[in-house]
Amino acid sequence: MMRKAVCVLAALLLLATLGAKEGKDDAKKNEAADKRAQIDAMAQEALDNLFAGNPEAKSLYDKSYGWAVFDNLKVAFLISGGAGSGVAVQKDGQRTYMKMGTGGVGLGLGGQKYQVIFLFENAQVFDGFVNKGWKAETGAQAAAGTQGASVGAVFTEGMAIYQITEKGLMASADVSGTKYWKNEKLNK
């Protein structure tokens, strides 16, 4: 009798453990889905803002193989650093969620929240960005006010890059590197 009770108790504990694990897995899936939805909404808003202020960008977008949008926050106090997340999208709608990180040293003070929008001319450039990541070097910049956008109307080395700033002030003269890579947690 005691043996049966121990077996029943062990079976109940196993089922409870499996149920708790399943609940945690569901919570992680829901959290990832929420994060993807937030990134998608941010990306669409950034594209809408870009097209509203730059018809040439819309023309390039219409010709492009794909695009990517990243939401970034960069802070500088003698050294600079930042991070963000985004999505790269092929014209057929296939999405790859990504991360970015930036860091550097130099003269700088302030913080800036901004979106970076990439338009890709062809599959080769798009696939290289998504699958190999991409590194960029930046130099002196100054941004102030509530909005700003760079204006580019041509692809350079297969890409057109736009930056849209939000509220914030960033004055820096630094040499920083920015790296983009796949977000494994959001691409499952």
Mean pLDDT in residue range 22-36: 79
pLDDT of 103-135, one tens digit each? 776 666 777 788 889 999 999 999 999 999 877
Confidence grade of residue 151 (pLDDT, cut at 50, 70, 90): very low
Tell me what the pLDDT averaged over the chain comes to: 77
Mean pLDDT in residue range 43-68: 93
Task: Give Cα separations from 101 to 18, 72, 135 (angstroms).
Answer: 37, 9, 10
Domain ranges for the chain? 49-182
Tally the residues of the chain.
188
**AA identity, residue 90:** Q
Position 61 scores a pLDDT of: 96
For tokens 């959290």, name the residue: 31
Position 137 pLDDT exceeds 60: no
Position 12 scores a pLDDT of: 42
- Looking at the domain 49-182, which fold is it? Lipocalin (2.40.128)
